Amino acid sequence: MNMKYQASAKELKNMFRNASGRVKLVTTGTDQEHEVLNSQGEVIHANDAPREYGITKEESEGSCENCNPCDFCSGCHISEFCDDCDDYCDDYEEDQEGNQICQDDCNYSCHDFCNSHEYICSNGCPRCDDCEEDYLSAPVGLDGNTSTAEVRQEPGFSPSNAVDNLRNVYKTIPQAIMSTVGDRFALGGHIHLGFKDKNGCNISCRPSSQYLRILDYFIGRPSQVMNGKGRGSYAQLSAWESKYYGFEYRSAPAAIFHNPHISLIFFKIAWYVTKKYLRKIPFELSANIEEGMASDGEYIEYANLSERQVRYLRNFIKNFHKIGYTENAVANWNRRAVKLAIKKANLPKFKYSFNDDWSTESRQLVENSLNGIRTPKRNVRILLFGMANSRGDVTYGFDVRNYHNMYGEHTPNIDNNSFDIVIGMPASFRTGYISDENKSAIMKSLISTVRQKLKEM
């Protein structure tokens, strides 16, 4: 029997306490965190990233030299803002439902002015014009403790517009190497939703527990398996932050923005589920929102996903920890810009030669994975040839568990002087008839072997 969930008028009124008339969802966007990798593929602190990565970094300890504490702020603390009274107030309490109520009963909604990085510079005060490129507010900057890089886009007026805006940010950092795995640092993929009332005014949102659980049902719980080991308590469900323009859903991992395809899917889920909830459309779900996850049919009905997008979503979540370790997220978003930047800068790169039969998918996987490795000061010629299918599970030039390395036993019919690195790949990998587990093992070993050979050059 399906469970029925529907927003009530009272619930929506409490979510948007200062709205004038009906509230509409108007924008969506994200800020997402990335682990930064060096040329050897090692995770480093984002503040130590090479300058050519294009990350706006912390220039000095302490506050922004261009800003001084304002009238309402001392250090990084600011009192609460009263929307109805147009004043600031420290004297408020919470009622039995958790709503913030002013002690003098002026019946207003308080929100934390300091939570919005759009208005805050590095010392916690409202940002002046000279702080536009502060590392906490730049399109690509550092998170609060400078350990990870944070990508921040302009809000989009539709899911596809949000993806376009996010792509525009990645175009500015084509040489960066970033991961969305998060095994060392906590990486979140925060979804921002913006609302306006009938007068066109931005409206802060305090999402209800039922609405948050529905977002958990469609986004948070299905994506939990993609959290890295470093996320810890940040992976809790129903996590959110109020913003002056709406709110930020914080439970999802950064993996939901690993590439444009999966990003569009999650933007669509957040967008259409929220729009239908605001319209008080009943959600008749096949499982309890306290513990269940959306079915394929529910993604199609309530999130407007196509059948193809649902299949992609399921496969991406299932396989993320097999592909996430081998892919540079920046390249996923910006493949053309990466190629142009390398050509323009005349940087060293791999020159590939593929012998024998390769599937397009396998060839692209090898190129995309190796392109994230920094080469020496010259171009590196690499040959990838095919081991015969009759040889079975064998490789040439690198070791993989459960595969036999035929280096020294087999002499390929090639001119070794024409190439810097020679690698023999099993037929099962080249043709795509291979398990995900074996494909992942081969790619990890291949990347490690190429890095070691580059060090020896």
| Cα separation, 23 vs 206, whole angstroms | 13
- What is the edge-to-edge ordering of all strands in the sheet holding 380-386? 350-354, 380-386, 421-425
Structure-token match 């649902």, residue found: 310
| Cα separation, 44 vs 146, whole angstroms | 11
Structure-token match 């913030």, residue found: 100
User: What would the pLDDT profile of 366-392 be if each residue is shown by its tens digit?
Assistant: 887 887 677 776 788 999 999 988 989
Query: Is 48 in contact with 204 (CB distance < 8 Å)?
Result: no
User: What would the pLDDT profile of 76-88 be if each residue is shown by its tens digit?
Assistant: 222 333 333 333 3
CA distances from 45 to 37, 48, 370 (A): 9, 5, 22
Give the Cβ contact number of residue 172 at 10 Å: 15
What is the pLDDT averaged over residues 405-410?
86
Residue 413's pLDDT band, with cuts at 50, 70 and 90, is confident
334 or 76, higher pLDDT: 334
Residue 94's pLDDT band, with cuts at 50, 70 and 90, is very low
pLDDT at 1: 61
Q: What is the DSSP string of 45-66?
A: -GGGS-GGG------SSSS-TT
Lowest-confidence pick of 47-56, 115-124, 170-179, 399-408: 115-124
Delimit the domains of the chain by residue range: 3-56+155-198+208-237+248-326, 348-456
What is the pLDDT averaged over residues 422-444?
90
pLDDT at residue 124 greater than cutoff 80: no
Mean pLDDT rounded to a whole number for the chain: 80
CA distances from 117 to 35, 112, 192, 249, 355 (A): 20, 11, 13, 15, 52
Q: What is the DSSP string of 296-338?
A: HHHHHHHH---HHHHHHHHHHHHHHHHHGGG--HHHHH-HHHH
What is the pLDDT averaged over residues 83-112?
35
| Cα separation, 130 vs 65, whole angstroms | 10
What is the pLDDT averaged over residues 381-409?
91
pLDDT at 336: 62
Residue 93's pLDDT band, with cuts at 50, 70 and 90, is very low
User: What would the pLDDT profile of 230-285 be if each residue is shown by its tens digit?
Assistant: 998 889 999 999 999 999 999 999 999 999 999 999 999 999 999 999 999 999 99
What pairing do the DSSP bridges indicate for beta strands 404-405 and 394-395? parallel
Q: Is 189 helix (H, G, I), strand (E, B) or coil?
A: strand
